[in-house]
Amino acid sequence: MSGSKQLKLGAFMRPVSIHTGAWRYPGALPDANFNFPALKRFIQKLEQGKFDAFFMADHLAVLNMPINALKRSHTVTSFEPFTLLSALASVTEHIGLVATASTTYDEPFHIARRFASLDHISDGRAGWNIVTTSNPDAALNFGLEEEVEHDERYVRAREFYDVVTGLWDSFADDAFIRDVESGIYFDPEKIHVLGHQGKHLSVRGPLNIARPVQGWPVIVQAGASEAGRQLAAETAEMVFAPAGNLEAGKALFADIKKRAWIIGRDPESIKILPGALVIVGETVEEAIAKRKHLDSLVHYDSGIASLNGALGYDVSGFDPNGFLPEIPETNAGRSSRERIVALAQREKLTIRQLAQRVGSYGGLSFVGTPQTIADEMEKWLIEEGSDGFNIMFPFLPEGLNDFVDKVIPELQWRGIFRKDYEGKTLRENLGLARPANRFFKSDR
Amino acid sequence: MSGSKQLKLGAFMRPVSIHTGAWRYPGALPDANFNFPALKRFIQKLEQGKFDAFFMADHLAVLNMPINALKRSHTVTSFEPFTLLSALASVTEHIGLVATASTTYDEPFHIARRFASLDHISDGRAGWNIVTTSNPDAALNFGLEEEVEHDERYVRAREFYDVVTGLWDSFADDAFIRDVESGIYFDPEKIHVLGHQGKHLSVRGPLNIARPVQGWPVIVQAGASEAGRQLAAETAEMVFAPAGNLEAGKALFADIKKRAWIIGRDPESIKILPGALVIVGETVEEAIAKRKHLDSLVHYDSGIASLNGALGYDVSGFDPNGFLPEIPETNAGRSSRERIVALAQREKLTIRQLAQRVGSYGGLSFVGTPQTIADEMEKWLIEEGSDGFNIMFPFLPEGLNDFVDKVIPELQWRGIFRKDYEGKTLRENLGLARPANRFFKSDR
């Protein structure tokens, strides 16, 4: 079946799981967010399963929720992405390492440098998930009294991307001569001073690290709003925007690839990998029962807090048995709010039902046997709903082990997932070209 | 000889070496700043030698020197400290990991979080070398047109330290209950919102990571100016201020310990570990010859550039065969400038001679046999010149291997250096107490 379309798979990770109730699930590791050896086992298992990437989610504040919900949340403590992924780099050989980093609350010089360093340390396995950070509490941790407005965050993000990629190109790929005899370490014609002066940023450069192994680490983007999709079309190589079902997936897939095509990019140079929660059972009924058990571990206080967070608006004052009122425009991620409002209307959910759904993960999920899960994934692949998925595991390690031991072999048997890594770098495994240096031609 | 005073030893590292000519030395690895496997071998050798810490120097810009000197410098590319030390954390078990991080060009929330994360990943081996970054080119990489003035940088550093340590104390040590039955993850009475509002910084908190394993990572400080010494006395647990000879070392030792005592700190809670370049030979003559060979590999263009950098003032227009003119007050590290002016006057060096010395490393060095080197170190220890040293290796791997294989056994035989690690954390190995949480009492 060689030559057929191939799924790309990332693992979208929080140490304990992305699911609020996961830490209480039988066999789970409630302390995984303190437990580096556990994370090491997780990533090594993913590498055994030939995953493209380990994708580390992030937040720049303790999530904004009432204390009676917060006290139930394992999200208040987690490893920081750069330290975690760097530590995992030296205990793995093939799997990509995607770190979330904010363009609103960090400096392009730091971001460019850390990703370049991670790329050198991992021999070409780094990826940058560009986020603009919609969380008013994050602003307060960085000296701002008020959050930067949604669209302005995206304007800054675009400029930030230009600066970071420009800094990565500070040295030509072949700049470093290291001629011991003459004492010349690098060719002085092959260093570039960026000298960026823009609306939001002023950065001189050059970056004090050689060009990354991949040229540029792989660019990942998750925004699904108008501004988010446009940023993705212009910059992203992997898109993680959510798609709740196949129809939504197809629409997103077509939209992003078309936007890219319009500005002259090859649509194949962007891989669309929406997030998907996968729960595996011996039978479909067993898988559904696992999910019900997992969701039952989410307290209502946590559910309503998650709903408020996702909406960027406090609805806890309304009757939980009534329907969602009109929600005013807020500064929260626009696409998240719109998706939840649509879900409530489509399924006619009360606020209580909606809170339980959102609190327990309200997005795309595949719940079934390895065969039914593979059926769904194959359908998405063939019908151009996506190029693959960022898999979310419901609980760890069981959910992860089930996926690697049961679903991966099924996908491999069908010829839609690799049996071994094709390349050495994340970029090569994803089938992405190495970007040329914008300031220097190279023979490399 | 148990109970006698014990040396503490850090390794002050740049991947290729701190010496400008090192990459050209026979057997050196000119590509070590690209070569993670080499760094892994270096740190594992240091751990075999029972070193307290691997101490990673840093710069936030390509060093400011003319292109004809820059092109000879291996410093233009290096791994970033957090990514490097995290990657090294997972291939070591005992050695401390000290990262340099700037209080002028970073955010306390990021710094607190990364060090906490590194401390959790390494099981209590992180240390923070607080620097204020005296480099006008760094300012230009972070959107500032002009460098922040020297003393103001130290005012901000002090406030930054208060914020970072406050953020580390966001959770009580025993906050995390993880009670699966009741669904309570942490005790809501044991989270603290910092709410800092100061002259330079405004940071709400809490930090989104549990208190570090060490309570606080070990605090390291290198400044030797008046402001730097005072900051060290108030905050540092390891002092890396330079001391060019034993008399200067004794004066620094006495001054810092006294300053600490005056403000109520136990002088034993600060370990003074000046940097020392160590070159080992079978005979003293062979060691001196190694140094001469090494220094001869530094080009004059590099020497004058280093001198200008250290002075914060361009003296290349003056007659190289004349003496140093009066240097006006600059924004560069004050202590560095004063030390060099004193060296020139003491040894009556011309600008050329001074440039060659500074370009080839002008600070404290021990050049001799394992016995003569151990004699000098023991003298420093006994006469209270220092509590130990941050060793700089002249070239790698040879200089490092020589130290571990030849000098360490001599120090151990004399009973002034450990044969095995005493504790599990860096703090325990250095003999430092675990700081109490300023917001919570704990039984831990």
Chain A: nearest CA to B196, how far in angstroms?
9
Q: Give the pairing type, strands B196-197 and B202-203.
A: antiparallel
CA-nearest residue to B74 within chain A is A185
Largest Cα separation within chain A, whole Å, is: 80
Point out the domain boundary residue: B317, B343, B359: B359
Would you list the DSSP string of B100-161? EEESSSS-HHHHHHHHHHHHHHTTS-EEEEEE----HHHHHHTT-SSPPPHHHHHHHHHHHH
- Give contacts of B31 with chain A, Cβ < 8 Å: 176, 178
Taking the CA of residue B40 and the nearest CA in chain A, the distance in Å comes to 9
**Residue B100 phi, psi (nearest 5):** -80, 135
CA distance A352 to chain B (A): 19
Amino acid identity at B187: D
| Distance between CA atoms of residues B110 and A46, nearest Å | 29
From chain A residues 314-373, the ones with a CB under 8 A of any chain B CB are none
Q: Is residue B285 part of a domain?
A: no
- Asked if residue B440 is part of any domain, the answer here is no
A444 lies in some domain? no
Residues of A marked as binding for FMN? 58, 100, 150, 154, 225
Residue B436 counted as domain residue: no
Do A303 and A168 lie in one domain? The reply is no
Task: Kindly give the pairing relationship between strand A365-368 and strand B275-280.
Answer: unpaired
Q: Are B140 and B233 members of one domain?
A: yes
Please judge whether B185 and A74 are an interchain contact, meaning their C-beta atoms are less than 8 angstroms apart.
yes
Nearest to A121 by CA among A39, A217, A44, A36: A217
Residue B102 is part of a domain; what is its CATH number? 3.20.20.30
From the CA of B106, how many Å to the nearest CA of chain A?
8
> How far is residue A133's CA from residue A443's CA, in Å, rounded to a whole number?
39
Q: How far apart are CA A4 and CA B123, in angstroms?
A: 46
Q: Do B299 and A183 touch (CB under 8 A)?
A: yes
Q: What are phi and psi of B382, to 5 degrees?
A: -70, -40
B145/B201 Cα distance (integer angstroms): 20
Instruction: Give the residue from chain A lying closest to B30, CA to CA.
Output: A178
CA B426 to chain CA centroid, nearest Å: 14
Give helix then strand counts, H and E, for chain A.
Answer: 16, 14
CB nearest to A83's CB, from B24, B82, B207 = B82
Residue to substitute from B67, B78, B84, B86, interface A, most A β-carbons within 10 A: B86
d(CA B213, CA B396): 32
Determine the 3-state secondary structure of B219 from DSSP: strand
From A103, A206, A193, A106, select the one nearest A156 (Cα to Cα). A103
Give the domain-ending residue among B316, B332, B359. Answer: B359
Are A82 and B79 an interchain contact pair (Cβ–Cβ within 8 Å)?
no
- Range of A91-105, A286-300, B287-301 with top mean pLDDT: A91-105
Do both B133 and B204 map to the same domain?
yes
Q: Which residues, numbered 242 to 301 in chain B, qualify as contacts with chain A under a Cβ-Cβ cut-off of 8 Å?
A: 297, 299
In the block, tokens 């693992």 appear at A11
The DSSP output letter for B329 is P
SS3 B266: coil
Is there a single domain that holds both residue B369 and residue B311?
Answer: no
Task: Let me know if residue A287 belongs to a domain.
Answer: no
Residues of A in contact with B64 (CB under 8 A): none
The shortest CB-CB distance from B71 to any of A80, A185, A209 is to: A185
Say if residue B419 is in the same domain as residue B355: no
Q: Which residue, chain included where needed, has tokens 């001073």?
A: A193
Does A440 fall in a domain?
no
Let me know if residue B443 belongs to a domain: no
Whole-number pLDDT of residue B328: 81
Query: How far is the alpha carbon of A58 from chain B, nearest alpha carbon, in Å?
Result: 10
Nearest in space to A153 (alpha carbons), one of A111, A115, A105 = A105
A310 token code pair: 């996702």
What is the pLDDT at residue A134? 83
Does residue B338 sit in the same domain as residue B384? no
Q: Nearest-CA residue of chain B relative to A23?
A: B180
Q: Do A77 and B297 touch (CB under 8 A)?
A: no
B148 CA: distance to closest CA in chain A (Å)? 16
CA dihedral B122, A128, A119, A174 (to 10 degrees): -160
- Is the Cβ pair B176, A82 closer than 8 Å? no
For residue A112, the model assigns a pLDDT of 98
State how far residue B139 is from chain A, nearest Cα, in angstroms.
9
pLDDT in tens, A169-192: 999 999 999 999 999 999 999 999
Higher per-residue confidence, B98 vs A357: B98
Tell whether A407 and A306 lie within a shared domain: no
Comparing A243-252, A336-345, A360-369, B37-46, the range with the smallest average pLDDT is A336-345
- Report the pLDDT value the prediction gives residue A408, as an integer from 0 to 100: 98
| Cα(B74)–Cα(A355) distance, integer angstroms | 57
Average pLDDT of chain B is: 93
> Would you tell me which residues 204-223 of chain B have a C-beta closer than 8 angstroms to some C-beta of chain A?
204-210
A187 chain-B contacts, CB cut-off 8 A: 71
Query: How many residues can be counted in chain A?
Result: 444
Nearest to B107 among A109, A142, A206 (CB): A142
Q: How high is the mean pLDDT in each 10-residue block of chain B (444 residues)?
A: 80 91 95 95 98 95 87 93 98 98 96 98 98 89 87 93 98 96 96 96 97 98 88 95 92 96 97 97 97 89 86 89 86 77 88 84 93 98 97 97 98 98 98 97 65
User: Tokens for A242?
Assistant: 């959510």
CB within 8 Å of chain A, chain B residues 2-61? 23-24, 30-31, 33-34, 36, 40, 59-61
The verdict on residue A293 lying in a domain is no
Q: Domain check: are B193 and B243 in the same one?
A: yes
ipTM: 0.93
Q: For the residues A259-265, what does the mean pLDDT come to?
A: 97
CA separation, residue B221 to residues B229, B351, B377 (Å): 9, 30, 21
Q: For residue A338, what are the contacts with CB-CB under 8 A and spacing of at least 6? A: none
pLDDT, tens only, A199-235: 999 999 999 999 999 999 999 998 788 889 999 999 9
| Inter-chain contacts counted by CB atoms under 8 A, chains A and B | 210
| Pair A267, A351 in one domain | no
Residues A107 and A169 in one domain: yes
Rounded-to-integer distance, Cα A209 and Cα A170, Å = 8
CB contact under 8 A, B178 and A30: yes
Compute the distance between CA of residue A262 and CA of residue A242 in angstroms, rounded to an integer: 22
How many other C-beta atoms can be found within 10 angstroms of the C-beta atom of residue B375? Answer: 15
Which residue intervals of B122-278 are DSSP H helices? Answer: 136-141, 150-168, 226-235, 246-262
Nearest CA in chain B to A29: B178
**Residues of chain A contacting B83 with CB distance shorter than 8 Å:** 82-83, 86, 114, 117-118, 121
Domain count, chain A: 2
Check if B160 contacts A (Cβ < 8 Å).
no
According to DSSP, the residues that pair with B365 across neighbouring strands are B277
Sign of CA pseudo-dihedral A132, A138, A140, A142 = negative
DSSP β-bridge partners for residue B139: none
Q: Which residues of chain B does A100 touch, with a Cβ-Cβ cutoff of 8 Å?
A: none
Q: Count CB atoms within 10 A of the CB of residue B347.
A: 10
Indicate if the alpha-carbon torsion angle B360, B84, B27, B12 is positive or negative. positive
Among chain B residues, the shortest Cα distance to A200 is held by B143
Q: Which of B106, B121, B145 sits opposite A84 (nearest CB)?
A: B121
Boundaries of domain holding B307: 299-359
Q: Which of residues 109-128 of A touch B (CB under 8 A)?
A: 109-110, 113-114, 116-118, 120-121, 123
Contacts of A113 (CB under 8 A, 6+ apart): A167, A207, A208, A209, B80
pLDDT band of A295, cuts 50, 70, 90: confident
B87 and A84: CB-CB below 8 Å?
no
Are B265 and B122 in a shared domain? yes
Best to test chain B binding among A92, A121, A170, A213 (most B CBs inside 10 Å): A121
Q: Which of the listed residues B308, B342, B359 is the one where a domain comes to its end?
A: B359
B187 labeled part of a ligand binding site: no
- CB distance B184–A72 less than 8 Å? yes
Q: Which of A20, A63, A141, A204 to mutate to test the interface with B (most CBs of B within 10 A)?
A: A141
Q: Are residues A189 and A230 in the same domain?
A: yes
Q: How far A256 CA sits from the closest chain B CA (Å)?
A: 33
Task: Please judge whether B203 and A77 are an interchain contact, meaning their C-beta atoms are less than 8 angstroms apart.
Answer: no
| Chain A residues closer than 8 Å to B104 by CB | none
B150 a known binding residue?
yes
